Structures are given as structure tokens and as C-alpha cells.
């Protein structure tokens, strides 16, 4: 039997931002959308970075929830993103994804074809897969 691939469990409808956007847009995504706590950064349809909730919280330096705080307009996505994130391809086995996530370096991994973002998979996605399999 062929092993299941990450394409079968990844989130395909990925919310992303571009490097030039201000981080107020990131704040609004975190406030309004239920999704992974990682936001891919895309430029010209190519994945160029990732923002984690921790990256965001660290960089806003206690700015709070008030949209008028200057930090939200001074910093851009490019200022807080992690460039050149670790990626996997859709044909990667779920076992391989689980192994990579178990190392603790990532909690979500963008899935790409070439450099084009096609999905994202999180630790929670992998856990759900194994729980439902039993």
C-alpha cells in the first residue's frame, strides 16, 4: 500500500501576506481568522517567508490591541518574517512530515510545488490524521 501524502491532510486555502504589507494586516488576520498560527509570505506567487504568532508578538513589543499604535504601521511584513522557510512538497509522506515536526523546530510547514505555495500542514493536522486512522 502506498503511504499517505501530506497533500491529503494539508490546508489548501492558505491565508498569506506579501512582504510589503504593514503588520496591521497581520494583526487583523490573527484577530479574525481561525487558522494555523503561521502566516506564509508570498511574492509573485512564490513563498518567500513565514510569520509565526511568536514572531509577531515579539516584534510588536507590547503594542496591545489598539490599531492606532504606531508599530503596526511602521513595520512591514518583511521586517518580521523569517525568510526562506523550510518547506516540503505535496508528495511527501505523512510519516516523513510527522518525523520532521517531531524534531520541534517547526509547528507548521508550508507545502510548495517549486516555489509556489500550495498548502500548509501543522502538528495538529498530523495528530488528527493519526487519531482518525486508529
| 27 vs 34, more confident | 27
In tens, the pLDDT along 70-127 reads 999 999 999 999 999 999 999 999 999 999 999 999 899 999 999 999 999 999 999 9
pTM beyond 0.85: the answer is yes
Q: What is the CATH number of the domain that holds 99?
A: 3.10.580.10
Q: Which domain holds residue 112?
A: 6-133
Query: If 0-12 CB within 10 Å is exposed, 13-18 middle and 19+ buried, where does residue 50 land?
Result: buried
Domain annotation covers residue 1: no
Q: How many domains does the chain have?
A: 1
CA distance 60 to 57: 5
Amino acid at each position: 500500500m502506498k503511504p499517505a501524502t501530506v497533500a491529503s491532510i494539508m490546508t489548501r486555502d492558505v491565508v498569506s501576506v506579501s512582504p510589503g504589507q504593514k503588520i496591521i494586516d497581520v494583526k487583523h488576520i490573527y484577530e479574525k481568522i481561525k487558522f494555523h498560527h503561521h502566516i506564509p509570505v508570498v511574492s509573485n506567487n512564490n513563498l518567500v517567508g513565514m510569520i509565526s504568532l511568536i514572531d509577531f508578538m515579539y516584534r510588536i513589543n507590547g503594542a496591545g490591541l489598539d490599531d492606532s499604535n504606531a508599530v503596526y504601521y511602521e513595520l512591514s511584513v518583511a521586517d518580521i518574517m523569517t525568510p526562506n522557510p523550510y518547506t516540503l512538497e505535496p508528495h511527501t509522506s505523512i510519516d516523513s512530515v510527522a518525523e520532521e515536526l517531531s524534531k520541534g523546530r517547526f509547528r507548521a510547514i508550508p507545502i510548495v510545488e517549486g516555489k509556489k505555495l500550495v498548502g500548509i500542514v501543522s502538528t495538529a493536522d498530523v495528530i488528527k490524521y493519526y487519531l482518525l486512522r486508529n
